[in-house]
Structures are given as structure tokens and as C-alpha cells.
């Protein structure tokens, strides 16, 4: 009986050997995924593919609709059909000409910050002969990292040719002055963005006219935040010797306020029944109001130059001309949609104090006149003395009356003595 047990175990092992061999055999192909990253709000593409050639595939994926919204697909074996069931995608694709590696790009819109996954829940595939092929899919998935958009809309460097920026470039300084010779009609501008996801756009640097020109460099961050660097470029008149602007000198002369030309851009809008014309070109010739920086503001679908509050307040300052009025700075309440005159910001000139001549003798200061007492003060003083005298007299009379009364009472109550005879 003991000898039969080893023989029986060998027979069972021999019977199970074919099945063990089948289960240990590797799959014919694997379904694999890319692992992309994306900024929230943007479109991300996930590539799903097989490691070996197939003629047809039927694949089901699941995804989280809190993070992703399916938008479309491209590629595949040539006849891909994708059915979106809101969190589940069924992909059916086949080749009409033999076998090939399946590779399909699935597009999604990233909705929220975080990390999410696409996981296959079912998959079957076939070869060109129509026979089923084994597919390994359960151990693979796509990981999508969704990050927040950058708000960095600054430059790390700004180069021009010809000319020199004044003051020297700084990421937080947005207004510069440049002087170029008469021969310069085009200014080369090279803007180096601080964040790779930001974009830059240069305008106004071509066809420079004699006199004042404005060149702008607009930097747009990944989240849409913008910053505008403005160059006030003066092209000199013919025959004027070139005078490059010094890096260490800023012209503090109060400039005249020009009126904008149509080429500079105008925006017309109405507030409280009055029409205002925004004069963009004049903005750079007006000293910024305290606590404001020059930037851009979207008004009625147009982007206008404006002074924006550094503290993020709900107002902006425009240089505008009201209908029938004088141009100047106006403060616009973005919540109430009202416009009020702000007033031009000017710096009063100090009046110099003349220095005395060394030979001139000092003029003696006149002695101050004695103060004359006010008539009302005299009356009050007299009244005070009168009241004091009356009070003292009343007190004396009261004391005298008390003494006389006491003596009178004693004389009446004193007993009369009888005289003995």
C-alpha cells in the first residue's frame, strides 16, 4: 500500500502537467499605456497600445469623470470606434489588411488637480486568421498627473538692438525708455520668459516713426495672467547725434500729455449715460497714481491700457476723454460700473528760498506789540470782584446778626435778683 502512493502522485502530476504548462505560458501581447502630465484645464492625450501585432481588439477602460472628460480619439488599426459611457470607454478596432500593432490616442480635458488613472477592465484580441490571442491587460494602467497652472508672467531678461533700456532691466519693472537714431526704423526685441509654460508677444517694434513710439512685450502665464512690459522708444530726427540712454539715469521731467492717435487704439464705452473714449497712447505720459501699476484691462471685449491697483482693488484708472469734456485720468469702479474724474497726478515745483547776501546786514525783527486785553475779559474780571465783595459783606452781616441775637436771648432769660431790705 505504501508503494502505491508515490506511483499515484506521479500519475496525478503527469495528468496536470499540460494544464500547468498552458497557465505558465506568457500572453501573446500586452496592453500598455503612456503616463502623461497636464496643466488643469488643458487637453491631455493618453496613448494605449499593444506590444505585439493583432488584427482586431475589443477593449474596455474606466476613468474618473471628476478629473477627466473624454473628448475624442485618433489612430488605431484603421477602423476604431469608441463608445463613451461617462466614466467607461469601449474601444472596438480591426484591421482590414492583416495584422499590426494597435496604437490609439485618447484625448481628455483635465478638470481637477491631482493624479488619476485609466484602467482596463476587459480585453480580447484576434489574429489575422480570426483566432483568439491571449492578452495581458489587468496589470497595466495609465497614470495622469494634473497640476495647477503657473501664474508666473515675468521675464528673466529683455534685450533690444539698437539702444539701451533705461532703467536697466528688472523683472518687476514694466516701463522703460529707449532712444534710437534716425536711421532705425525697426527695433529688435528678444524677451526671455521666466517660466517655460508662459508665452510672449511683441508688438509695435516695426515701422518706427520719428518721435515717440510704444513697443510692448506681453507675457501670458500658464493660468492666463498677463504682464505688459512697455518701451517708450524715441526715434531721433534726421541729423541729430545719437545720444544713447544711460542705464543709471531716468528722465524725471514731467512730459506733456499727448492725445492718442487712431493707430494707438481707442475704446469707446458708456458709463452712467456719458460716453468716454479711452486714449491708450497717453497712458505712458502720465505719472502712475500712487499704489497703481501700468497694465491692461479688458473692457467691452477690447484690451485697454490702464493703471491697476497693486492691492487688487475693484477699480482701474484710465486716461480718457469724456464726451464734451477734457481728457484726463478717470477712476472706474468695476463693481458699480461708474466713472469719476481722478485728476492728473502732478508734482508741484518747490519754490527756492533766496539766500541772504553776505554783505547785507540782517534786518532786526520788530518787537511784538503788547497784547491788548479783550473788553469781555475786563468785564468778567470786574464782575468776579463784585461778587467776592458782596459775599464777604453778607458773611460779616450774618456773623454780626448771630452775635447780637445770642446776647439778646441771654439778657431776656437772665433771672432777676431780689434786694433784701
Whether 227 and 273 share a structural domain: no
Kindly report the CATH number assigned to the domain that includes residue 87: 2.60.40.680
413: in domain: no
Structure confidence at residue 25 (pLDDT): 52
Q: Does the residue 49 lie in any domain? A: yes
136 is written with which cell numbers? 495581458
What pLDDT score does 339 carry?
85
Regarding whether 135 and 37 lie in a shared domain, the answer is yes
Same domain, 137 and 60: yes
pLDDT at 388: 82
Q: Which of 316, 311, 277, 274 is CA-nearest to residue 295?
A: 316
| Residue 164 to residue 112: CA distance in whole angstroms | 45
132 and 33 assigned to the same domain: yes
Pairing verdict, β 81-84 and 338-341: unpaired
State whether 128 and 177 are in the same domain.
no
Give whole-number Cα distances, 132 to 81, 101, 113, 202, in Å. Answer: 20, 15, 40, 59
Question: In CATH, what number is assigned to the domain containing residue 249?
Answer: 2.60.40
The pTM (predicted TM-score) of the whole model is 0.42
Q: Does any domain span residue 232?
A: yes
Considering 346, 377, 412, which residue would you say is the last residue of a domain? 346
- Tell whether 210 and 310 lie within a shared domain: no
Domain boundary residue, one of 253, 284, 303: 253
C-alpha cell at 310: 497693486
Residues 248 and 267 in one domain: no
Q: Which of 237, 253, 269 is the last residue of a domain?
A: 253
Q: What is the pLDDT of residue 154?
A: 95
Across the strands, what pairs with 295? 306
- In tens digits, the chain (421 residues) has pLDDT values of 455 555 545 444 445 444 444 444 568 999 999 999 998 888 999 999 999 999 999 999 999 999 999 999 999 999 999 999 999 999 999 988 888 999 999 999 999 999 999 999 999 999 988 899 999 999 999 999 999 888 999 999 999 999 999 999 999 999 999 999 999 999 999 999 999 889 999 999 988 999 999 999 999 998 889 999 999 999 999 877 655 444 433 343 333 433 333 333 456 777 777 888 887 655 555 667 777 877 777 776 567 777 888 777 778 888 888 888 778 888 888 778 888 887 543 333 334 444 444 444 444 544 444 454 454 556 666 777 777 878 888 888 888 888 888 877 777 766 655 545 4
| Whole-number pLDDT of residue 355 | 47
Same domain, 50 and 131: yes
- Residue 98 belongs to some domain of the structure: yes
For position 248, what pLDDT does the model report? 36
Of 207, 193, 202, nearest to 230 by C-alpha is: 202
The number of distinct structural domains making up the chain is 3
Domain ranges, residue 332: 257-346
Question: How far is residue 224's CA from residue 41's CA, in Å, rounded to a whole number?
Answer: 11
Q: Are 237 and 267 found together in one domain?
A: no
- 357-362 contacts at long range (C-beta below 8 A, 24 or more positions apart): none
Cell numbers 492728473 correspond to 344
Amino acid at each position: 500500500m505504501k508503494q502505491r502512493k508515490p506511483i499515484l502522485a506521479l500519475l496525478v502530476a503527469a495528468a496536470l502537467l499540460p494544464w500547468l504548462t498552458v497557465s505558465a505560458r506568457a500572453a501573446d501581447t500586452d496592453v500598455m499605456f503612456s503616463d502623461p502630465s497636464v496643466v488643469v484645464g488643458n487637453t491631455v492625450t493618453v496613448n494605449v497600445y499593444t506590444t505585439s501585432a493583432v488584427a482586431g481588439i475589443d477593449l474596455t477602460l474606466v476613468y474618473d469623470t471628476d478629473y477627466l472628460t473624454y473628448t475624442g480619439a485618433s489612430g488605431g488599426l484603421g477602423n476604431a470606434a469608441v463608445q463613451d459611457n461617462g466614466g467607461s470607454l469601449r474601444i472596438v478596432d480591426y484591421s482590414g489588411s492583416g495584422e499590426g500593432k494597435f496604437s490609439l490616442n485618447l484625448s481628455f480635458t483635465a478638470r481637477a488637480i491631482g493624479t488619476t488613472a485609466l484602467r482596463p477592465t476587459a480585453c480580447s484580441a484576434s489574429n489575422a486568421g480570426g483566432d483568439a490571442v491571449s492578452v495581458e491587460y489587468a496589470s497595466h494602467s495609465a497614470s495622469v498627473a494634473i497640476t495647477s497652472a503657473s501664474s508666473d508672467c515675468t521675464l528673466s531678461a529683455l534685450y533690444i538692438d539698437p539702444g539701451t533700456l533705461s532703467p536697466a532691466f528688472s523683472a518687476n519693472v514694466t516701463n522703460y525708455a529707449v532712444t534710437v537714431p534716425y536711421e532705425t526704423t525697426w527695433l529688435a526685441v528678444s524677451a526671455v520668459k521666466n517660466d517655460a509654460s508662459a508665452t510672449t508677444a511683441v508688438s509695435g517694434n516695426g515701422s518706427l516713426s520719428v518721435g515717440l513710439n510704444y513697443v510692448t512685450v506681453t507675457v501670458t502665464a500658464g493660468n492666463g495672467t498677463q504682464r505688459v512690459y512697455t518701451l517708450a522708444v524715441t526715434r531721433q530726427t534726421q541729423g541729430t547725434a545719437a545720444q544713447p540712454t544711460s542705464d543709471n539715469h531716468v528722465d524725471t521731467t514731467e512730459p506733456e500729455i499727448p492725445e492718442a492717435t487712431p493707430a494707438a487704439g481707442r475704446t469707446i464705452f458708456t458709463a452712467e449715460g456719458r460716453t468716454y473714449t479711452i486714449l491708450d497712447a497717453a497712458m505712458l505720459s502720465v505719472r502712475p497714481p500712487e499704489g497703481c501699476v501700468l497694465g491692461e484691462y479688458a473692457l467691452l471685449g477690447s484690451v485697454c491700457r490702464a493703471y491697476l491697483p497693486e492691492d487688487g482693488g475693484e477699480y482701474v484708472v484710465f486716461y480718457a476723454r469724456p464726451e464734451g469734456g477734457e481728457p484726463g485720468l478717470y477712476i472706474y469702479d468695476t463693481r458699480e460700473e461708474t466713472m469719476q474724474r481722478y485728476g492728473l497726478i502732478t508734482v508741484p515745483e518747490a519754490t527756492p528760498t533766496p539766500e541772504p547776501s553776505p554783505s547785507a546786514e540782517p534786518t532786526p525783527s520788530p518787537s511784538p506789540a503788547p497784547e491788548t486785553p479783550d473788553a469781555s475779559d475786563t468785564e468778567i474780571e470786574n464782575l468776579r470782584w463784585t461778587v467776592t465783595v458782596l459775599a464777604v459783606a453778607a458773611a460779616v452781616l450774618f456773623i454780626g446778626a448771630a452775635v447780637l441775637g445770642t446776647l439778646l436771648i441771654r439778657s431776656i432769660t437772665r433771672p432777676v435778683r431780689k434786694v433784701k431790705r
